[in-house]
Amino acid sequence: MYSGSSDGEGLDASSVASRKIPPASSMLWVRNLRRFIGSGAGLGSEALMELETKRILLDIFKEKQQKSAEAGTIPSFYKKKPEDGSISSRVQRLAKFRFLKKQSDLLLNADDLDAMWVCLRENCVIDDATGAEKMNYEDFCHIASVCTEQIGPKCRRFFSPSNFMKFEKDESGRIAILPFYLYVMRTVSLTQARIDMSELDEDSDGFLLPHEMEAYIRGLIPNLAQLRDMPGAFVQMYCRIAAPKFFFFCDPNRRGKACIKKVLLSNCLQELMELHQESEEEVTDTEQAENWFSMTSAQRVCDMFLALDKDMNGTLSKQELREYADGTLTDIFIERAFDEHVRRGKTGRGNAREMDFESFLDFVLALENKDTPEGITYLFRCLDLNGRGFLTTADIHTLFRDVHQKWIEGGNYELCIEDVRDEIWDMVKPADPLRITLSDLLSCKQGGTVCSMLIDVRGFWAHDNRENLLQEEEEPEEES
C-alpha cells in the first residue's frame, strides 16, 4: 500500500538491510578524539593522575592474569607479606589506620551513651505490674528520632526493626529499656576492643601474638578501676600472667597466636572487663581471687611460683612442682605433665628438663579450669600414658594407684581400686566399653571430676564426700 517514499524513490527491505552503519572506530572524529584524550593533552593534573593509576592497575591485573594462566588451575594458597618499609607495606598500614579511624568515629562515646539512656527513660512507660521501664515499637521509633537529633546518625543503626525483635516482649508487645541499653553498651565495647586489637595486629592477619596481647592488656590497665592503682614495677609481670589465659582458651592448637574474633567472643575478655566496676561495689575477696585477671589472683600466682622455686633459678624441677597444692598431686601426673607440656630445650641444672613460668601458667590454668573443654584436653594428654588417644582399664588402674597410696598415707579407709575403676566407667559411659576417649570425657559432663579423681588425692576426697560437702553448702543458705 505504501510502496513509495516521500521523495519519490522506492526503498525495499533488501536495500535498507544492505546499508550498514560504519563502526565508531572508523569515524575520523572518533579517532581524533581518542588520540587527543589518550595523549593526556587538555587534562588537569588530577585527571592525569587518575589515568596513570588506571594504567598501573590494568598492568597489574594483566600480570596476575598471565601468572594465573601459567600456573594452571592450582589456586594460590600463599601470599608473601610485604617487606617492612616497602611501598606496599606503607600503603597497607595507612589504609588500615584510616579504616580503623573511620570505624572509631562511628562509635558512641560515653556522653552519647549517657544521652541515649536519658532519652530512653524520658520516653518510656512504667509497667504497672512489675514497675519495669518499657517501650513499644512506636516509642522505639520516637526515641530513635530523638536520639538521632541529639546524638547524630551514628546511633540510628541500633534502632532497626530487627534489633527490636531480638528482645523479649510482654503481652502488650513492649520490651524493657535496660536490656536494650546494655546491648548497645556491649556492642560499643566489643567494637572498641576489636579496633584496639586490630591496631596492635602488626601484620593484619586477624591474630594477636603474645607480645601484642600483652600490649593490649597494658593499655587497658589505666581504664580498669580495680587495676588503676597497680604498682608500676608489677605491670610487666601482670601482663605476663594475664595474657596466657587468652591463648589457653583461644589457641587450642598452640600455634602461639590467638584469633581476634575468638578473643572477642570468649569469656576471658568478659572476665577482664569485670574489673571496670569499683572495688567498693560489693566485690568480695573470693570474687577477686576467682577472677584470673584481678590483682589478688595475679599476685597469688606469682607468689606461688616463687615459693615453689626453691633454688630461685626461674624454672621448676619435677621435685619442686610436687609441692604444688600441698603435695596432693600424684607423681605419675607430674611426670606426664613434664612429658607432654614442658617445652623441649628448657633445661635447668645439668640435663634435667624444667618447667618455665609460661608452662607453669598453663599448668595452673588447666588445674583451675578442669571442667572446661580446654582444661580436660590438657589433662587428658597427661592421662593418656601411651599416647594412643584413649584410656584402658589398665591405664585407670595405673593412674589411680598413686592416688590410692596417698589416700592410705592420709589415714583414710581402705579402697578397692577395681571398684573405683568401675565407678569411673559408669560416670563416663564410653561409646566403646573397652576404652575412654577424649570425646567421651567431654560429652559425659563429668570429665573434670574424673580427671581430679585420677591425679589429685584431694580431688578424689571431694568426690567421695560430695554428699556431705553439698549438705554443708546448703546449711548456710538456709540460715541466711
Q: 135 near 123, Cβ under 8 Å?
A: yes
Quick one: which of 185, 188, 207 has its CA closest to 198?
207
Position 1 scores a pLDDT of 42
Q: Which residues contact 81 (CB under 8 A, 6 or more apart)?
A: 203
Question: Which residue, 192, 98, 110, is CA-closest to 151?
Answer: 110
| pLDDT tens for the chain, residues 1 to 480 | 444 444 444 445 455 445 555 555 556 776 766 666 655 555 566 777 777 888 888 888 888 888 777 766 666 667 777 777 788 888 888 898 999 999 999 999 999 999 999 999 999 999 888 888 999 999 999 999 999 999 999 999 999 999 999 999 988 899 999 999 999 999 999 999 999 999 999 888 899 999 999 999 999 999 888 998 899 999 999 999 999 999 999 998 889 999 999 999 999 999 999 888 775 455 566 667 789 999 999 999 999 999 999 999 999 999 999 999 999 999 999 999 999 999 765 444 444 689 999 999 999 999 999 999 999 999 999 999 999 999 999 999 999 999 999 999 888 888 888 999 999 999 999 999 999 999 999 999 999 999 999 999 999 999 888 877 776 666 655 554
DSSP string for 112-128: HHHHHHHHHHHT-EE-T
Grid cell, residue 82, equals 610485604
DSSP state string for 303-331: HHHHHH-TT-SSSB-HHHHTTGGGGTB-H
Q: Which three cell numbers stand for residue 458?
A: 584431694
Q: How far is CA 291 from CA 48, 267, 268, 294, in A?
A: 61, 11, 10, 6
Measure the CA–CA gap between 100 and 198, rounded to whole angstroms: 8
**What's residue 6's pLDDT?**
45
355 vs 152: CA distance, rounded Å? 55
Alpha-carbon span 239 to 224, nearest angstrom: 14
Quote the longest CA-to-CA distance of the chain: 128
